[in-house]
Amino acid sequence: MKNIKYIAIIALGLVACEPELDNSIEDAGFYSSGEADFSKFVSVGNSLTAGYADGALYLEGQKYSYPNILADRFSHAGGGNFTQPLVNDNFGGLTLGGTQITDNRFVLSGDPLAPSILTGTPTTEVSNILAGPFNNVSAPSAKSFHLLSNSYGDVSGVALGTANPYFARFASSSSATMLGDAVAQDPTFFSLWIGNNDILSFATSGGLGVDQNGNLDPATYGNDDITDPMVFGSAYTTILDGLTANGAKGVVMNLPSVTSIPYFTTIPYNAIPMDAATAAGTNGSYAAYNGGLGTAVGMALIDAAEMAQRTINFTAGQNALVIEDESLTDLSALGLPSIRQATAADFIVLPTLPVIGTLADPANPASVIGVGVALNDSQVLTENEATMIANAQAAYNATISALASANNNVILVDVKSYMEELSMGGLSYDGGTITSEFATGGGFSLDGVHPTARGYAFIANFIINEINTEFNATIPLTNPGYYPTVYID
């Protein structure tokens, strides 16, 4: 019977006999961080860095923020712990003093599936200040100069609009700056992606704001304004100087074109189908306006080119939407509104989708929005407004590029080019291709502005490729095929 006891002991001892791989990735040094040191990685930015998607910041989105994906990859090469100021739930709405102040996230629901706001009571209370520090120092809607503002994280300013609810949740004090909270962690490696909102807020508002080109005092800016490039440059320099002061290496991302995102590309400028009879009828109702334009030319108020631009004409087939354009000559003295038909150079914003073609006044069949009633300033980013944005974007990117190339510790990731690829033909992975098609393309979440988790995974890979090349590292990529796109309720 003794033998049996020994056999039992041997058997149990052998439980520890595990298979071992030669040259395993778990062996130290399998992946190299090259010249970089990822032991303290800090990311700084706006919604794109926070993991914002589907119009909200929610737990699943934060899990797939590009810096969180990066940190997971860095962990193979000496990367340290990476913390984020996580929200409380997957609804994504914020409350302040118990009152909901931001919407829940969009999901697809219903039959047929359509984007709608997820119903549920959000539990992320802004005044519950989280104890930091957090490696991911990012706040949705932050602009470049906000990162230096010492009132941006003050909870008492959230209701007044002087502070950011996302940053206020985790600011180290009511007078902390985002840059200060990042630098205080003494990062060995950083990522910086800022400046998008300096043009994006203007764009998504349909150009309601003002192009502040020439105004060097950001304290006077409205939320929907375009930041002056000098103001941007100065803020960016301060931020980058702060992050690199201790010799940290890092990546900076340039700014993609805002008008190639689904928020602006989903609704075509010529969204109105008509038959010949309806077109003729509609033209009849614009006869007075068109005639008035001729009068204005006769009075030398406008030239023939502007008259041609403003003349409303519907034909059988697809027709351009009627839009307001504040850049047109003011003819209100003649009782003529500043309207014209859109062209391919104008962008109709996504929130207009449910109202186009509906009646502004249900009792008036002639009040079809986009036909009898012009789309207003907030519903259209006109060609003129898009040009202001493109000019500012080019100036910002020139600054980012120049500052990055002036510092050997900083590498530039050309996210702009990658996003162009996404909107031109798409980006391929082992299970297909993501495109910028709204809701179905897989690249953009249901807010039409922010990437999906899969989109963020691509961005993380672009950054890793650049780090591997420039810092001689061998960080493993992530496989976008494993990341979700849009969520179905």
Partner 1 sequence: MKKLLSFVLFFLVGSTLYAGGYRVSIQGQKQLAMGHTGVAVISSAESVFFNPASISFLDGKMNFSLGVSGIIAETKYENKEFGNTNSTESGLATPFNFYATYKANDWLSFGLGVYTPYGSSVEWEKDWSGSHLVNDIDLKAIFVQPTIAVKISDKLSIGGGPIYVNGSVNFNKNLSRSLTDVNGNRTNVTVEQKGITAWGYTLGVMIKPIEKLNIGFNYRSKVIVKAENGDADFENVPGSLPNNLSDGNFDAELPLPAEVTMGLSYEFCDKFLFAFDYNFAQWSEYEALVVEFDNDAGVSTSPRNYKDAETFRFGLQYEATKKVTVRTGIYFDQSPVQDGYFAPETPRNDSVGYTAGLSFKVNDKLSIDASFLYLHFDEIDNSYDHYQESGQNVPFEGTYKSSVIAPGLGLSYKL
Q: Which member of 45, 49, 73, 182 binds partner 1 (CB under 8 A)?
A: 73
Binding mask 116-145 for partner 1 (x = CB under 8 A): --x---------------------------
Q: Which member of 32, 34, 63, 301 binds partner 1 (CB under 8 A)?
A: 63
Environment class of 422 (CB within 10 Å of its CB; exposed 0-12, middle 13-18, buried 19+)? buried
What is the nearest approach in angstroms of partner 1 to the Cβ of residue 486?
Answer: 10
- Please say which residue, 69 or 373, places its beta carbon nearer to partner 1: 69
Tell me: does residue 5 bind partner 1 (CB under 8 A).
yes
Q: Which residues pair with 377 in a beta bridge?
A: none
Binders of partner 1 among residues 148 to 207 (CB under 8 A) are none
State the Rg of the chain over Cα.
27
- CA-to-CA separations, 478 to 131, 143, 254, 430, 466, in angstroms, rounded: 30, 29, 22, 12, 14
What is the nearest approach in angstroms of partner 1 to the Cβ of residue 187?
Answer: 23
Chain-centroid distance, C-alpha 194? 11
- Please say which residue, 24 or 332, places its beta carbon nearer to partner 1: 24
Q: Where are the beta strands (DSSP E) in 277-418?
A: 317-319, 322-324, 339-341, 347-348, 380-381, 410-413
Would you state the structure tokens that stand for residue 272, as one six-digit string? 């109105």
Candidate segments 9-17, 32-40, 138-146, 210-218, binder of partner 1 by CB under 8 A = 9-17
Q: Which member of 31, 202, 264, 462 binds partner 1 (CB under 8 A)?
A: 31
Candidate segments 15-23, 187-195, 265-273, 327-335, binder of partner 1 by CB under 8 A = 15-23
- List, in sequence order, the alpha helices (H) in 375-414: 383-405
What is the nearest approach in angstroms of partner 1 to the Cβ of residue 194?
Answer: 28
How far apart are the C-alpha atoms of 360 and 196, rounded to whole Å? 33
What is the nearest approach in angstroms of partner 1 to the Cβ of residue 139?
Answer: 23
- Please say which residue, 7 or 344, places its beta carbon nearer to partner 1: 7
Q: Which member of 4, 131, 219, 300 binds partner 1 (CB under 8 A)?
A: 4
Max Cα-Cα span within the chain:
118
Tell me: does residue 29 bind partner 1 (CB under 8 A).
no
Instruction: Please list, residue by residue across 257-279, b when 16 or more beta carbons sit within 10 angstroms of its beta carbon and e when fewer do.
Output: bbbbbbbbbbbebebbebeeebb
Q: Which member of 432, 440, 465, 469 binds partner 1 (CB under 8 A)?
A: 432
Spatial CB neighbours of 194, under 8 Å, sequence gap ≥ 6: 44, 45, 46, 142, 143, 144, 147, 236, 239
Helix (H), strand (E), coil (C) string for 180-241: HHHHCCCCCEEEEECCHHHHHHHHHCCCCCCECCCCCCHHHCCCCCECCHHHHHHHHHHHHH
- CA-to-CA separations, 444 to 54, 152, 315, in angstroms, rounded: 9, 28, 34
Q: Which member of 17, 300, 305, 363 binds partner 1 (CB under 8 A)?
A: 17
Binding mask 449-488 for partner 1 (x = CB under 8 A): -----x---------------------xxxx-xxxxx-xx
Nearest C-alpha neighbor of 380 from the set 421, 427, 339: 339
Tell me: does residue 22 bind partner 1 (CB under 8 A).
yes
What is the nearest approach in angstroms of partner 1 to the Cβ of residue 381?
Answer: 31
Own/partner pairs for 367-372, CB < 8 Å, 24+ apart?
A: 370/271, 370/272, 370/321, 370/322, 370/323, 371/272, 371/282, 371/314, 371/319, 371/321, 371/322, 372/282, 372/285, 372/322
What is the nearest approach in angstroms of partner 1 to the Cβ of residue 468?
Answer: 13
- Please say which residue, 217 or 430, places its beta carbon nearer to partner 1: 430
Q: Which member of 76, 150, 306, 426 binds partner 1 (CB under 8 A)?
A: 76
Binders of partner 1 among residues 313 to 332 (CB under 8 A) are none
Q: Which member of 96, 113, 184, 230 binds partner 1 (CB under 8 A)?
A: 113
What is the nearest approach in angstroms of partner 1 to the Cβ of residue 14?
Answer: 5
- Please say which residue, 26 or 217, places its beta carbon nearer to partner 1: 26
Q: What is the binding site for partner 1 (CB under 8 A)? A: 1, 3-5, 7-8, 10-11, 14-15, 17-22, 24-26, 30-31, 59-60, 63, 73, 76, 90, 107-113, 118, 430-432, 454, 476-479, 481-485, 487-489
